[in-house]
Structure 1
């Protein structure tokens, strides 16, 4: 970044900007200064309230809520619900689970095993033989019914063959087939004749329709309707074009040109003026807010100085010039002698109590000696370490046989 680079040239300002800037800034400053002072006062009051009222109140409410809601519920859960739940679980286990387990193990399982064995015996020795007998009877009945049915079916088939099928075949071969062939031949001839007649009628009708309808219609379309349509289309296009041009110029003269003149000679200058006023007002607001901040700081410092001169400095002077010497005098004339006297009284009391305890011990010792005699003294035990032996030399020995 080039530090020596000159600042970018500002666009030249017009006389209107220069003329509006100072009055606008003065008016805005007059309006903004009270607002900034009130805002700073509210901020200071809010901080003071937050530090001195709201935060302690919040802590008190939190402690109160904890003491009123959390701790009772915790105590209720810990000392009431948990023991009651444990007791109920133990009672349920003792009164329900254990009896049911005993019944299941010692009653239901043996009964189930017995019923299973009984059912197995019934199935093996009763139901199985009966079922086998019923199966054998069913097989015999099925064979008998099959034989009877086969005989009946064979007889019915023979009767149907010679009473129905053979006569029907003879009737079809000698009567119905020749009659059907004749009817088919007659139908084919009638169809061919009808097709020829219909084709001739269609050809004649088509020729008549062509020369009576299609050819005149084509001539009418080509020589009459088409020129008339083109003429009508040209007239319509001319009318639409003329009407469009008339409407265009009418709308242009009545709406566009006045709107353009209004925009160019009224709205654009007014907009520029309003833009200048708005920009200068915004700049003035920012400048006034900053100036009001400085003024608010000055006022705050002045009020702080006044408060310090009116309250703090007198209080400091009273504390330093009055309370401190008085405190020193009270400390030197009253508190220290009182503390010294208290220490002396304590020392004398301790000595007196020590002498009284010693006298009591002596009296108790004398009474015990007078009643029970002198206590027996125990033999003293030598708790010293044994003496060290002589060091071993080359000419001496520590064994019994070679000891000098």
Structure 2
């Protein structure tokens, strides 16, 4: 059966969303393409916004392991699949194809929540032989995307981690993290948490177009300030840097992050794996047609002449003179601002399986 999908702009405006289309994932046997036939264009232009749907998943395990040599963590937890933030450049979009859904609008509007994730995490941390090491959250989709306000899964995970005194790193664009400062502050005082806040651009108009449901850049800087004042070590993540579009802002983003209280920084050039390339290029042609060829040309310049480079190591840095220049600018700016490349190591020696009310260790 062919799964119906909202057609591409301008036949369906998808107001408030990043992707302009909903093409089938790479594993689907059929494709569907929208074609304008000239009928009912006015009525279709008035279609209501696409609402967010949330399905429930009850996983057997929530700790995901990885052996990627260019990642700083070996385990992570993702409380949600898909992300309502709608960032057009999001490298996690292709993961939705594994669910039989589109990496386009489906990724932003058909989400999956894991409400039992905290109890499953508790069971895995309590398992005999478990060795504590920092858990990364926010590595695929944002744990503080808008639906977290009602589902509160991330807060439940933090409550478990705090109880076990387990180290955790978080990457987010969502200001909802401020809700959990009552947990994060005490964890930070014990050396158990650090947070990366992604700031892609300081231009609020560009941000609204490129990442439509993400808090404005100025609001994210205030979030860095709030976390810093609560004692949480914060990294400002100037990622992704989009060649020919946002890369000129690198120094300004780092400076703004440092002024807000960040003590470390990082950056990653734009990555366009899988279906992300077409989604991002479609967005460029829709909103910035005069810059589309320039941006994609500069992307290829740092990706060895290709739209994307999936090689470990170089995928995070880019190659060639343009990538080297960006890295050199970053090194000069971080040195001038006193920003570290690495935050202090988190403690894993405090980890302990809590006892049940009857005094027995919690094994399940």
Category of TM-score, reference length = shorter chain:
under 0.3
* Structure with higher strand content: 2
User: What TM-score do you get using the length of structure 1 for normalisation?
Assistant: 0.10
* Structure with higher helix content: 1
Larger radius of gyration: 1
